[in-house]
Amino acid sequence: MIPIRDTAPCHSKPLVTWSIMAICIIIFVVMNLIPDQDAVDILNRYGMIPLRYTSGLPDLPFDGYLSFVSNLFLHATWIHLLFNVWFLWIFADNVEDRMGRIPFLIFYLSCGAIATALQCYFDPILNIPVIGASGAIAGVLAAYFFLYPLERVIVFFPPILIPVPAITFLGLWVILQLYKATTAIVFTNTPVDVAWWAHVGGFIAGSVLYRFFLNNKKLDLV
């Protein structure tokens, strides 16, 4: 099921959401224009490499955990970028509307950092960069799950469009993430190229934190 749009009204311009999307797109375009070795150096420096923090890598000095946040703005492929930007476009505007711009930004980065930390915990010997906004977006999805459970998400279920409650669509989404994450642990020889635990960690973080970032003036909209 591919989400197309949602039905929740948005009462303000989601400037932070648009800015995050723009930064991710600009960085990706620049990364594809510079020499390959420079792009690799940036990925290694600003992507989160678990082994850097668990065992140390001589070529990458300790950075104060900066990459736990900086990795959220890096993407591997156009498809990777497109899916993340698309989910932000559909769900983040409403969450930003309920929180306000600065609280939403802090919430987004906090969920992303926690998501990255959980991925590092479950995959401590990984020696390649973990990148992408998915962990932070998972936190946004969790906030949407609790704030707009009965709003409809229009999904493309080939060959038709189907409106489903947000609680159903996002509930299935998080169940899939848990399944993939636990499968990666149980079947250690299974190839994994997605940071499933970052998705789970972001959703957990968002579920716990969202209520502390709500704009009290808009609580009557729940």
DSSP per-residue codes, 14-66 = -HHHHHHHHHHHHHHHHHHHS-HHHHHHHHHHHSB-HHHHHT-BTTB---TTT
CATH number at residue 87: 1.20.1540.10
Gap between the Cα atoms of 155 and 176, Å rounded: 16
DSSP 130: B
In this structure, are residues 45 and 66 in contact, taking their beta carbons and an 8 Å threshold?
A: no
**pLDDT tens over the chain, length 222 residues:** 799 999 999 999 999 999 999 999 999 999 999 999 999 999 999 999 999 998 877 777 778 899 999 999 999 999 999 999 999 999 999 999 999 999 999 999 999 999 999 999 999 989 899 999 999 999 999 999 999 999 999 999 888 999 999 999 999 999 999 988 888 665 555 545 688 999 999 999 999 999 999 987 654 433
Specify the number of domains making up the chain: 1
pLDDT of residue 62: 79
Residue range of the domain that includes 19: 2-221
pLDDT of residue 57: 75
Q: What is the pTM of this model?
A: 0.92
